[in-house]
Chains A and B, each alone.
Chain A
């Protein structure tokens, strides 16, 4: 399975051609994928914001943004520019240091988690061994940032919003981690690349969604709850809490929250597609197509082609899930806080535990289907 484009190797060889040492070439290489992924994340946010505006308009029989560019595609950029030039206000009675640190603590772990999102065999920043576990660990930092900004705002609605956000994120982290564990059990590895490769044997038939339907649904519900999307947007429930922990925020600090929530949504969609929908895999295995067309799998042309198909497939699957999330947001009512906690602790937690146990049993009984 160890084929595919290795851009890092080619880039290093290219720089060594100019007489640079391999260490310097590595240092020049290091920031490139990070920048690329950061740009990809921000562009993804712009697209998602536009989609959100357009789909919500369609759901409510409006037209939505229309005048900024064709079909209003420039609207998110206008939004971003507006937030950039707005006055940055820190309320007089707020705690300045914590007020500034809060949004940063919310955004940074989310961006760091993009480290493990693979778009192809070698198309990720770092194939770290702890892979998906890194994401679970990093996403547990977020509640601290939310609590911090809720406390520092010195506003009861903000504090309540921060507390709700932290309670929600702690409750839904456990079923989320348990459903990831079932996947890890089947893969025998925490690495995201291994998880995708494990699903690539028979195209769409070997995707994890068929073997883990319960895990898929639990994971998706928990991911929506972690992103604080409706029906689980209690931390910022407008009718009860003004805007929750972001009430006092304006300008760029608010933009950090906004960016953070949308990057988190895209990240969750990407991770669902990686864990359950075969990641960069095409519904029909690319090797099979190449064999049918009598093309050598290692030819440069085929390599570039499969890599681009991989990126397109990953993004397509992720945006399909983003579409479902947006549709859910504009068509479902909000749950109450007690319903939210009941759902998390009394329903999802036992179900995901049972799912893990059953997966372990099935793995012992049918090792060829559930990863030996």
Chain B
């Protein structure tokens, strides 16, 4: 085995272990803050796996979007609602755990079976596009994947408008979930500097 292949193997093993253990930690840990930070670690390791596959642009995009935006927002949200509140004990927690574990194991076995039965067509290292991938992705986004790309952007726009409507409660007189009139006192007043009227 040459040095390059050994290095690649070691990197792959470490990254996959981090992904697996980190993902288990995200699900199993009690503390939500630890889960959120571990999720960031999992995203980073997935980016590392992309890098091993010579997809450096996808890896950087993964870091930028998932770590830099999604994960930061998750952590941000957790820290803004940092209530010390004990969750209500759930009655039949044990049977629920058994059911969800069995469902997860079934899905896992299905995935393993697909992986073992399907014959994967591997491209040789000579055919990999590597650094060219940025250009190739751009070409695809503006030709045959144009419609999905635009539809996704419309979806994001809708989500953004929805979030603004939810956040600015002064645009609605009734609370959407309860139907009660909105408590206008809680809405942040526009900030007038206190010292402007003094003179």
Contacts and interface: CB of A to CB of B under 8 A. Distances in A.
Given A27-B3, A130-B60, A133-B60, A144 B67 contact: yes
B68 A163 contact: no
A163 B82 CA distance: 12
Give the secondary structure class of A's interface: helix
Contacts of A136: 60, 64
A130 B56 contact: yes
19 contacts: A23-B4, A98-B33, A129-B130, A130-B57, A130-B131, A130-B134, A133-B60, A137-B63, A137-B68, A140-B67, A141-B63, A141-B67, A143-B72, A148-B37, A151-B33, A163-B76, A163-B80, A170-B69, A190-B134
Contact of B76 (A129, A133, A138, A147): A147
Contacts of A27: 3
Given A140-B69, A141-B68, A166-B76, A23 B60 contact: no
A148 B80 CA distance: 13
B37 to A, nearest CB: 6
Contacts of B130: 129
A159 interface: yes
Interface in B61-111: 61, 63-64, 67-69, 71-72, 75-76, 79-80, 82
Interface in B92-143: 130-131, 134
Interface string A281-318: 00000000000000000000000000000000000000
B178 interface: no
A187 to B, nearest CB: 13
B197 interface: no
B79 to A, nearest CB: 6
Q: Which 7 residue pairs spanning A and B have beta carbons closest together?
A: A140-B68, A129-B131, A137-B60, A137-B64, A137-B63, A143-B72, A130-B56
Nearest to A144: B40
Given A98-B37, A151-B33, 13 more contacts: A128-B131, A130-B60, A133-B64, A137-B68, A140-B67, A140-B68, A140-B72, A143-B72, A144-B72, A147-B72, A147-B76, A166-B72, A173-B68
B191 to A, nearest CB: 6
Interface of B: 2-4, 33, 37, 40, 44, 56-57, 60-61, 63-64, 67-69, 71-72, 75-76, 79-80, 82, 130-131, 134, 191
A23 to B, nearest CB: 5
Interface of A: 23, 27, 98, 128-130, 133-134, 136-138, 140-141, 143-144, 147-148, 150-151, 159, 162-163, 166-167, 170, 173, 190, 338
A141 B57 CA distance: 16
Contact of A129 (B37, B67, B79, B134): B134
A160 to B, nearest CB: 10
* Residue from A27, A143, A159, A163 having most chain B Cβ neighbours under 10 A: A143
B29 to A, nearest CB: 12
Contacts of A163: 76, 79-80
A136 to B, nearest CB: 6
* Residue from B44, B72, B130 having most chain A Cβ neighbours under 10 A: B72
A12 to B, nearest CB: 15
A147 B75 contact: yes
B134 A140 contact: no
A137 B131 CA distance: 17
A255 B69 CA distance: 27
Contacts of B44: 141
A290 to B, nearest CB: 32
B63 A140 contact: yes
A159 B79 CA distance: 8
Contacts of B191: 338
B170 to A, nearest CB: 17
Contact of B71 (A98, A144, A162): A144
Contacts of A162: 79
B64 A23 contact: no
Contacts of A133: 57, 60, 64
Contacts of A170: 68-69, 72
A114 B80 CA distance: 33
